[in-house]
Chain A
């Protein structure tokens, strides 16, 4: 059974800092790995999706990498802003007929002005 871990559970940084959020997974036979953002009281917004054949994806100030062999993914946020404050979740998809997502518990990020 796939298990996804995100440590630490919370992170507080000053505005402007570059930061890395970590995600690890136990089953390397994933179809893809996805990072989501969740704001309080809101649903999840997909930020970046990395296919199993890819090593990284970039969108604006965000860069996500994937190392299947070591079971790890990172989300890099450049020049953090207070508006980046949210919970960031990673989720793995195993593929198959029902491609459900297996989520980590998330990292709650606070960017201080």
Chain B
């Protein structure tokens, strides 16, 4: 597709439920980032992939969060045993550059997760 596609657009999960959020980057984009944006806040870095390699996962808030990109294209962010503080918009961004360096990013529209 022409842009970064994220699904689902909205997800309501009961506390304790596992969820999986999908990101389809622009075809051929090497770098893929996940960000978490809480209400009224700026996006915060979660994790970074270069092709299938997860080079940085320092932003993942707990071991309940897991991300993968097994074939270097589609990525999935999984949250186990969701808690209310996980409620946020999860943004995915991709870049054609192996280093990104802040430019060339295309962001998806995000998945809004609400944990009840």
Contacts and interface: CB of A to CB of B under 8 A. Distances in A.
Contacts of A105: 40-42
The contact size tier of chain B is 20 to 34
Contacts, number: 65
Nearest to A100: B45
A43 B109 contact: yes
A98 B56 contact: yes
A104 B101 contact: no
B48 A98 contact: yes
A98 to B, nearest CB: 4
B107 interface: yes
B43 interface: yes
B48 to A, nearest CB: 5
A109 B99 CA distance: 32
B2 to A, nearest CB: 13
A75 interface: no
Interface residues of A, number: 26
A46 interface: yes
Contacts of B102: 31-32, 34, 49, 91, 93, 99, 101
A100 B4 contact: no
Contact of B91 (A43, A49, A91, A104): A43
A103 B45 CA distance: 9
A100 B59 contact: yes
B59 to A, nearest CB: 7
B43 to A, nearest CB: 5
B114 to A, nearest CB: 14
B43 A97 contact: no
Given A95-B101, A104-B42, 11 more contacts: A4-B42, A32-B101, A42-B109, A46-B103, A46-B105, A91-B42, A98-B55, A99-B99, A100-B45, A105-B40, A105-B42
